[in-house]
Structure 1
Amino acid sequence: MVSDGLGDWKKDITKWALDLGFVAIRFTTAEPIAGLEHFLQTRFEQGMSTPFEHKEIRQRVDPKTVWQDCRGMAVLAYPLPHTVAPDKGEGVLARSAVGEDYHRVINQRLKELNKRMVIHHWPGELRWQVDTGPLVERAFAVRAGLGWIGRNQQLIIPGYGSFVCLALLLLDREIPIDDTISNLCGNCQKCEQACPAQILGKEFFAARNCYSYLTQSKEVLTMAEGKGLGARIFGCDTCQEVCPHNQPWIQEELKDLSPASPKRGVDLLNTLSLTKGEFKNDFFPTAAGWRGKGILQRNAFLAMRHAQDARLNLWLTIREKSKIPSILTPYLERNEER
Structure 2
Amino acid sequence: MDIRRLKEEIITYSQEIGIDKIGFTTADPFITLKGRLLRQRELNYQSGFEEPDIEKRTDPSLLFDEPASIISIALAYPSKMKTHVRGTKTDRRGIFSRSSWGDDYHIVLRNRLEKLEKFIVERYPDARCKSMVDTGELSDRAVAERAGIGWSGKNCSIITPEFGSYVYLGEMITNIPFEPDTPIEDQCGTCNKCLEACPTGALVQGGQINAKICISYLTQTKDFLPETYRSVIGNRLYGCDTCQMVCPYNKGMDFHFHPEFEPDPELAKPRLKPLLSISNKEFKNTFGKTAGAWRGKKPIQRNAILALGHFKDETAVGELEKVLKHDPRPVIRGTAAWALGKIGGKRVKEILSEALADERDPDVLEELEGALEKLNHETKA
What TM-score, normalized by structure 2, do the two folds share? 0.81
After superposition, the C-alpha distances for 1:156-186 in whole angstroms (9 at most, x for unaligned) are 0112211111101111111000111111112
**Which residue of structure 2 aligns with residue 316 of structure 1?**
320
Between structure 1 and structure 2, the one with the greater Rg is 2
> Hey, which of these two has a bigger chunk of helix by percent?
2
Higher relative contact order (CA 8 A, sep 6+): 1
Query: Which piece of structure 1 moves more, 89-98 or 126-135?
Result: 89-98
Find 1:49's aligned residue among 46, 51, 62: 46
Letter in 2 for 1:213: Y
Match of 2:126 among 110, 123, 127: 123
Alignment correspondent of 2:359: none
Q: Which residue of 1 aligns with 2:163?
A: 160
The amino acid across from 2:41 in the alignment is F
Unaligned runs of 5+ in 1: none
The 10-residue stretch of structure 1 (101-110 or 182-191) with the greater mean CA deviation from structure 2: 182-191
Kindly state the Cα deviation for residue 82 of structure 1 after the two structures are TM-superposed.
5.3
Distance 1:113 1:140 in 2: 17
Do 1:160 and 1:246's aligned partners in 2 also have CA atoms closer than 8 Å?
yes
The superposition leaves residues 106-144 of structure 1 with CA deviations (integer Å, 9 ceiling, x where unpaired) of 111111222222333443111100000011111111111
State how far apart, in whole Å, the 1-side matches of 2:184 and 2:236 are: 34
Aligned residues: 330
Partner of 2:219: 215
Q: Work out whether residues 159 and 245 of structure 1, in 8 Å CA contact, stay in contact via their aligned partners in 2.
A: no
Letter in 1 for 2:119: R
Once the two structures are superposed, the pairs formed by residues 255-334 of structure 1 within 5 Å of their partners are 261-263=263-265, 264-319=268-323, 322-331=326-335, 332=337, 333=364, 334=367
Code of the aligned partner of 1:240: Q
Aligned twin of 1:186: 189
Partner of 1:20: 17
Structure 1 residue 102 displacement after superposition: 0.5
Q: In the aligned structure 2, how far is the partner of 1:152 from the partner of 1:220?
A: 27
The counterpart of 1:111, out of the listed 108, 114, 129, is 114
Matching residue of 1:69? 66
Question: Mind listing any 5+ residue stretches in structure 2 that lack a counterpart?
Answer: 338-363, 376-381
Q: Distance in 1 between matches of 2:195 and 2:210?
A: 13
Question: Retained in 1: the 8 A contact 2:132–2:170?
Answer: yes
TM-score by length of 1: 0.91
- Compute the displacement of 1:247 (Å): 1.3
Q: CA offset at residue 285 of structure 1?
A: 1.0
Q: In structure 2, how many angstroms separate the alpha carbons of the residues matched to 1:201 and 1:20?
A: 39
Code of the aligned partner of 2:198? C
Deviation at 1:219, TM superposition (A): 3.5
Q: Displacement of 1:87 after TM fit?
A: 2.1
Residues 72, 175 of structure 1: 8 Å contact kept: yes
RMSD: 2.1
Does 1:29 pair with 2:26?
yes
- 1:319 to partner: Cα distance: 4.0
Q: Which string of whole-angstrom CA distances, capped at 9 and with x for unpartnered residues, describes residues 288-325 of structure 1?
A: 11101011100001111121112331013334664354
User: Who is 2:4 aligned against?
Assistant: 7
Q: Which aligned pairs between 1:90-105 and structure 2 lie closer than 5 A? A: 90-105=93-108
Q: Deviations over 1:217-252 (max 9, x none)?
A: 2232111211110000000011111111111214x6
The amino acid of 1:109's aligned partner reads: R
1:269–1:311 Cα contact (<8 Å) kept: no
Percent identity over the alignment is 33
Match of 1:177 in 2: 180
Query: In 1, Cα distance between the equivalents of 2:224 and 2:196?
Result: 27
Report what 2:351 is aligned to.
none
Residue of 131, 145, 150 corresponding to 1:147: 150
The range that moved more, 116-125 or 96-105, is 116-125
CA offsets per residue over residues 267-306 of structure 1, 9 Å max, x none? Answer: 1112222111211111111101110101110000111112
* 2:260 is aligned with 1:249: no
